[in-house]
Structure 1
Amino acid sequence: MPVKINNPLMQYHPIRFYEVRKDFIAQPINILLSGLKGNVNHVFSISDEINKEACLSYMNAYIRQILLSVSPQPYPRHVRKIYRSNQNYYLNQDELGVEWTTELLNLMNDNEYRAFQQYASLTNYGSNIFDFSCILLDLFAETDIGNVLLKDICLPFQTIYLHFGKQENKKINGSMNSIIQTLKRVETSTSTEDIHFLLDGAYITQCPKSGTLRVTLTSVKNKHSKYCNNCIDCSEEVLAFILPANNLNTTVSEAVSWQREILLKSNQTELHQTIVNKIVDEIVNNLNLVINCALYLQSYPDDIEEDYTESAPRNLVQQTKRAPGAEKAAQKKLNQLGYRKIKFCGRKRQQFWQLEDEDVSERVLVGAASGEPKRNMAPHKRRAHIRKQRYGKELQSWKYVWIKETTIHKEKYEPGKALQQYRIYEVAD
C-alpha cells in the first residue's frame, strides 16, 4: 500500500533521501561519525575499517529494501530481478551468472553508498542547502569553467548541497540507466514506459587538506511515483565523481581528464568501461553549473538570503522575525510541520548584478584581452566567461565576476551579413 510522505520540502534531494531511508539511516551515519577526529572529512579521510563497517550496515539495510520493493517501474523491477537471479545462480552454482549479476549489484550499490556518504557529511556540517534562482542558472550553464584552478574554489562548508530545481533539458544517465538498458536487451518485456532522470542538484565535498572535490549529481524522475515509502521504489539517479587536486595549478579540465584515466584503468570489463565513459561525459556536461555555483557562493556571500520557502505558513514565518520568545515558538512549530530554512541565491541580486554591470564595459574588456585599449575592432562575439576582479584595500582581495555572452561593437554590425559569420573570440581567464 503506497504511503504518502507529508514533508513539505521534498523538492530538495537531501530531504527526499532522508525521508525514504529514515528507518535505517541513523546507524550507518553514527558509525561514520564515530571515526571523525579533528579536522577530518569522512568522505575523504575515514579509516577503511570504519568505512567498511558503515558500508556493511547501510547496504544490508538497502538490500532489505529490495525485498520490500513493489513498484512496477523499470528500475525497481529490474533490481528485484537482478537480486533474485543472483540468489538462484548462487544456489545452482552458476559462476558466470553469479559474476554477472554481482557486477550489476555492485555497480548499483557503489553510487548509492557514495550518495549516502555525502548526505552524511552534509548533515554533519550543518545541512546547508543552497537554492539557486533560474536567472543565475541560465548564466552559469553557458559560462565555461575548464580553466578554473581547483585551489581557487573555497566552499563555505566542507559539504554543501546545490539545488537547481528540475532541469527539463538535462537528463542524467548513470548506472541506473545502464542497468535498465542492459536488462532490456536480454528480456522480452513489451513495456514502453518512459522513465528517465532529470538533473536537480549536486552535493559537493571539499577535502580540507588538498582541495580535492567530490561531486555527486542528483536527479528527480520525470514522472511521479506513488510508491514513495521505499528507497528502491523511488530510486533516483546519482553520479559520483572526484576532481583530484594533484598540484597547486590543477584546473577543472585537467582534474576531469585524470579522473577519467584512473577510472578506466581500474575498471577493465567492457561494461564498466562503457559506463565510466558515459558517467564522466555526464559530469562534464553539468560541471558548468556546479563549479560556477560554488564560485558564486565565495564571491557574493552577501547575496545569499536564508529564509523559509514560500510554501511555509506566512504567519509563522513573520513571527520568526519578531521578539526572541515568539521567534523560538514559531521556529519550533515550523520544524514540527517539516519546514526549515534554506539559503536562497540570486533573490537579492543587487551586489551580484551591480558588479556584473560595472565589468561589462566593452572598451575596457576588449583592451584587457588584447593589450590595446580603445582598439578599433570589427563586431565580434565574446563568450560568456568569468574573470577575477581585484577589490578592497590596495586591491589585496579578489572575487569572480560573471560576464554574459555579448556582441562587441554591435553598432558596427552590417545588417546584410549573418551574425554567425563574425569571429568568436575566446576569452582567457
Structure 2
Amino acid sequence: MLKKRAFTCSICRASCPLLKYSITPLANDFTSHSHLSTNPNSIPSKPKSHFPNPPHAKLPHLLLEKSKVGFDKLDDALFLFDQMLHLKPLPNVINFNQLLAALVKMKQYAVAVSMFRIICVQNIPVDIFTLNTTINCFCHLNRLDYAFSLLAAIIKRGFLSDVVTYTTLIRGLISQDNPMEAQLLFTNLIRFQVIQPNVVTYTTIIDGLCKRGHPSVAVKLFKYMDKKGCKPNTVTYTTIIDCLCKFRLVDQALALLRQMTQKSIMPNVRTYNSLIKGMCDFNRWQDVNGLLREMDTSNISHDVHTFNILVDAYGKEGMIEDAEYVIELMIQRGHCPNVVTYNSLMDGYCLRGEVDEALTVLQTMKTRRLEPDTFSYNILINGYCKKLKVDRAIDLFQQLPSEGLTPTIETYSTILQGFFRTGRHVEARRFF
C-alpha cells in the first residue's frame, strides 16, 4: 500500500504523499510512452511493481463505489489506487478517472497529478477525461505552463482536445489574473473553429470580464452567445446581473431579470440578492419590496445573505428599527444571524451616534457564541473616536489581543484621528 509521506513536488511545489514519484517533466513522460492511444479500453503491457509486498488482487468494490461520490480520507484513495495497480486485468480507464475525479473533489490536486504520472509510467491507457482532469489540477496548482504543455502533448499524441479542455484553460488564465490572454484564446478558438464553445465556456469568459471591471464587453459577449444559438442559463444571467448592479447599472440588470422570466429561465436566490443589493444602494425601497415579493411568489427562499443585505442597507440609512425587525424575521425563518449581520447593525447604531447601543450588540454576539472579528471592534473604536471618547476606544483596542485578534491599519489610523480631534498630539505621536 502507498505510504502517506510528504515531499515537495518539483512541478507544483506542493506537499504530495506519493514520495517515490517525481512528476517532472510530466509532458515528456506523457508523450514518451507508445501505449497512449485514443483507445481507452486497450490493455497495456504488464506494469512493473514498485511495491515489495503487493496486496491481494481482489479489488475493494466498496472503495471503488466510494470513488464515485468521494472519499473521507486520502489514505482510502491511495489504498484503492494501490490495489487497482495490481489487478489482472487492469480496471477500465473509467475507474481510474473516477478516482482522479474524487481526488479533485478533495482538492488533492498535487496527489492527482502524481497519480497521473504513475499511470503513464505504468503503461496504463488514458483518455481525454484523464487529461482534462490533470490540466484542471495544474490550473488549481497555479502551473499554467504545465497545463499548456500537457495540451501540446494531447495534440501531439492525436487526442482530440474538447470544449472542456479549453474551458478549463480559460478558467485557469482568468484565475491567474490573465483576462486578456483568456479572451485572446477564446477569440482564436472561435476564429479558427477549434471548438464550438458551450454555455460554460461563455459564462467563464463573461465572469472573468465582470470581475476585471469590463461590464460593457461582458454584455456584448452575452448578446453574441445568444445570437450564435448558445442559450444563456441561470448562472450566465446571474453573473451579468451581479456585474451590472456592482457598476450601478441597476435598470439594465432589472431588464435582464424580466428577460429571464420571459424565456422561462428561473432566477435563483443569488440573482435576487444581487438585484436587492443594487436597489438598496439607490434607496429604491419599492423595488426592493417588489423583488422580495417575487421571491416569495416563486418559492425562492431568502438566505442569510439576503437578510444581511437588508440589515446593512437599513443600518446605513439609520433605519435601525427596520434592521432589527429584519433580524427578528431572519430568526423566525430559521436563519441564524452571523458576525456580518451584527456588524451591520453595530455600524448602523454608530452612524446614529448610539455607540453604547452598538457595544450592547457586541455583547449579544458573545452571548450567542459568535466571535466578533477585528472589523467588529473597528466599528466601535471608530464610533467612540467620533464621539471624542478616545479613552474608551483605547480600552477596546487593548482588548484585541485577549480576543485573539490583530489590529489593522484602519484600527491604528482611527485612533490617531481620535487623538488629533481631541488635541492630544503628543499621545498621537507616541501611539504612532
Greater CA radius of gyration, 1 or 2?
2
Give the TM-score taking structure 1 as reference length: 0.25
- More helix, by proportion: 2
Say which structure, 1 or 2, has more relative contact order (CA 8 Å, 6+ apart): 1
Q: TM-score, normalised by structure 2?
A: 0.25
- Which structure: greater strand fraction? 1
